[in-house]
Structure 1
Amino acid sequence: MDGPSGGLRLERGTTGFFRIGDPDIRRTDPRACRTAWYAAARAADGRVAEFENRQIAQTFHTATIDRPDGRHCALFQAYSPLVAFVDEPHDWYTDQFREPPAWAAGLGGFGFTVLSAAVLLSPLSTADTSALSAVERQQIDYWRPETVGAVLFNSWG
């Protein structure tokens, strides 16, 4: 999970850019995300308001839970089992990340890693990007994301 510099290691494909036939590009099954989210809702004494599979060009699925303390919105990364929390659904994200609620830790039991706002808002220069492909590096040069979260939860296509 962490790279040699201590920053998050970004795996090949997590930007959403790859060539057909590239090896080792895994996808996060939306059904697994949905199952984990419904379990999280039960554990949080809430109810799932929506679960939306990623749109074309997005690197994330969007899910919300309604609880007495308000609505909680999570993003499930489509190419790696990573989860981020935001205030509300958008098409892409740069600096809108927030700390996950305590009940989100239960997503770990389903194989997901819930990322803190500090990790997501950290400068991209702190991440280990050595596993990214040439096409991903080209897209980063083009779009110029400033944070780790902006790379992981984008709709650059």
Structure 2
Amino acid sequence: MTTEHGSSLTHLPRGATGFRDPQTELLPTTDSRAFASACYEAARRARCRIIEITQPVLTPNFHTAVMSCRSLDFAVLGHVHLPLMAIAQVQAARSTSVVFIDGVPEIEEALRSSGAFRILASDELRKPLELIDTSSLDQAECRQVAYWKPATLGQLLFNYWD
């Protein structure tokens, strides 16, 4: 997985969907405390406020931090298994259809400075899935992709699949 700032995510590692074959090893998990800490620090630096932070139970496959910054409410999403973050509309982050946004540069820069996560831009998350190398996904993930039919990278990475 490419993680340098400004480079494109073109190869998805095993665990990108949040699923795995039962007979394979457990997926790595991102540290929920590191996610929360990065969000609190970003909010402090950008003079924003955290409204709530939620951890997933079964679905979705991401942590959520709802923030308010100069009359704009938005959600920071953190993938449970990969060190990836995205910014989304709040209403969309609470539904099963996530709408990714840009335009919160001070938060994006502050999150980037934590060094623990890669912030994905909305244009990257809208990239058609057929342009992404999914060859490292395991069979369970491929079955989920075939069932749910995500059209974009963002729909695969940040999902409510069960």
Q: Look up the SS of the partner of 2:28 in the other structure.
A: coil
Residue identity in the other structure for 2:113: G
Residue of structure 1 aligned with 2:133, choices 125, 128, 132: 128
* 1:108 to 1:23, Cα distance in 2 relative to 1, 3 A: farther
Matches of 1:29 and 1:115, distance apart in 2: 18
Tell me what 2:101 maps to.
Answer: 98
Percent sequence identity over matched residues? 32
Please give the TM-score of this superposition, normalised by the length of structure 1.
Answer: 0.89
Q: After superposing the two structures, state which structure 1 stretch, 22-31 or 73-82, moved more.
A: 22-31
Please give the TM-score of this superposition, normalised by the length of structure 2.
Answer: 0.86
Unaligned runs of 5+ in 1: none
Contact residue 64 and residue 74 of structure 1 kept, 8 A: yes
CA RMSD of aligned residues (A): 1.9
Superposed displacement of residue 46, structure 1: 1.1
Tell me what 1:156 maps to.
Answer: 161
Deviations 1:24-70 (A, max 9, x none): 62111111100000000001101111100013131111111112232
Contact residue 91 and residue 154 of structure 1 kept, 8 A: no
Q: After superposing the two structures, state which structure 1 stretch, 23-32 or 48-57, moved more.
A: 23-32
Tell me what 2:45 maps to.
Answer: 43
Superposed displacement of residue 137, structure 1: 0.6
Tell me what 1:140 maps to.
Answer: 145
Superposed displacement of residue 100, structure 1: 5.1
Superposed displacement of residue 152, structure 1: 0.5
Residue identity in the other structure for 1:71: D
Residue identity in the other structure for 2:73: R
Unaligned runs of 5+ in 2: 3-7
Matches of 1:63 and 1:140, distance apart in 2: 26
Residue identity in the other structure for 1:53: Q
* 1:18 to 1:55, Cα distance in 2 relative to 1, 3 A: same
Q: Look up the SS of the partner of 2:50 in the other structure.
A: strand
Contact residue 58 and residue 91 of structure 1 kept, 8 A: no
Superposed displacement of residue 74, structure 1: 1.1
